[in-house]
Amino acid sequence: MSAKDAQRTRIATAPGFIAALDQSGGSTPKALQQYGVEPSDYSGDAEMYAAVHAMRSRIILSDPFTSEKVLGAILFERTMDSDINGKPTAQILWEERGVVPFLKIDKGLADEANGVQLLKPMPDLDALLAKANEKGIFGTKERSLILEANAQGIADVVAQQFEVAKQVAAAGLVPIVEPEVHIDSATKAEAEGMLEAEIIKHLNDLPDGVDVILKLTIPTKAGLYDAAADHPRVLRVVALSGGYSTNKACDLLSQNHKMIASFSRALAEGLSVKMSDAEFDAALGRNIDQIFAASVA
């Protein structure tokens, strides 16, 4: 079995969750602050990205971060391009940790229109996908944002997401389609109903051989995405934490039996640069255990 086939089987069938280690420029200072690294502790982008790479490396190399409970990890492009212990990050993940590597490919969000924020243009996407293949990446992720139940906006978000997904699949990678619904939206449940209908419509139009992973906000109505999870073109449905605390995200996720976690902030909750390795491993281990339990509930 090839590495890609082994990775596909693992993502589609194994118990566990996908770690999101893909904070980019805008969210990096916040992620570092949560970890106890203040803006005064670094000067300029290079030092900031070095600090966040050190944090991610510490997570990846931590004893609890193994294939037993972590299926995959989503990386920022700089992380993919960086080494851990002298080896490319994606190589360390798969060969030493048994964790399937993914890459965040979007360039951020466009300005709000029709109650949503579409993806910014990605003119260099083909080159990035080629580099991802060379680096041993299995799949990709791109995030758009739905702020309200606007039928036109939601249709536009899903159409754009699936257009990108086809481009990713054509490059031999598996796309994670992420049309996030804001957890504080006043029309969250209504927006999710519209989103589910649009997703099913686009899934039905996918040709055989083009499979996707869906990354979605945990729905207000438990089980809303079960039909999508059972669709033959869907490898897995994963949930984003969306700003919920670890406890809240895990409680909501456990009510959705066909979703697993793909948490970022919730995974790193309570971790600190000041912790000893033993303290860090224990805290991360508790988070991983809690997120795993909610993913297999």
CA 1 from centre of chain: 26
Closest CA to 240 of 213, 269, 219, 261: 261
Helix, strand, coil fractions of the chain, as percent rounded to 5: 45, 20, 35
Cα separation values, 193 from 38, 139, 151, 213, 235, Å: 40, 27, 10, 19, 21
In the numeric block, which tokens belong to residue 238? 């994963």
Active centre residues (catalytic): 178, 215
CA 247 from centre of chain: 19
By residue count, the chain amounts to 297
In the numeric block, which tokens belong to residue 294? 């909610």
Q: What is the three-class DSSP state of 27?
A: coil
CB distance 219 to 192 below 8 Å: yes
